[in-house]
Amino acid sequence: DPNGDLLEGHPVLSPVAWPLAYQYPVHKMGPDYLPETPPEQPTYLVVYRDRKDEVKFLEINPVTARLINLLQENPEITGELALNQIAEEMKHPRPELVLEGGLTALQELQRYGIVLGVAS
């Protein structure tokens, strides 16, 4: 269901989207930008094909990367359960903020076609 509830349903990821993690910001590197040392934080990307079948890159944060990984590992998990698990893993003092931010991330991923909708 492309219009289903991303928290109550099981978010379905596009089969042409891949979450990746790199030590360097590979999507920014080129002849004018070749860092000598890696930054403190890894770079998290989703490589995907858009609706025009063009390859795109979306930089994401570590929490969104974890969310995508959880959804890939367990297609039966609801968006809410995945986000609650992340809040527990983070020992976040206000889990409702993780839920709120996670819903926003799921909605953004859906706009890009990385999340296709939900399965019930």
Note the residue count of the chain.
120
Residue 21: strand pairing partners: 44
Question: How are beta strands 17-22 and 10-13 bridged, if at all?
Answer: unpaired
Q: Which residues of 4-36 are buried (b: 16+ CB within 10 A; e: fewer)?
A: bebbebbbbbbeebebeeeeebeeeeeeeeeee
One-letter amino acid for residue 120 of the chain: S
Q: In angstroms, what CA-CA distances link 51 with 87, 111, 112, 114, 115?
A: 32, 11, 9, 10, 12
Q: Please give the chain's pLDDT, 120 residues, in tens.
A: 999 999 999 999 999 999 999 887 777 767 887 777 777 889 999 999 988 999 999 999 999 999 999 999 998 999 999 999 999 999 999 999 999 999 999 999 999 999 999 997
pLDDT at 30: 75
Entry pTM: 0.87
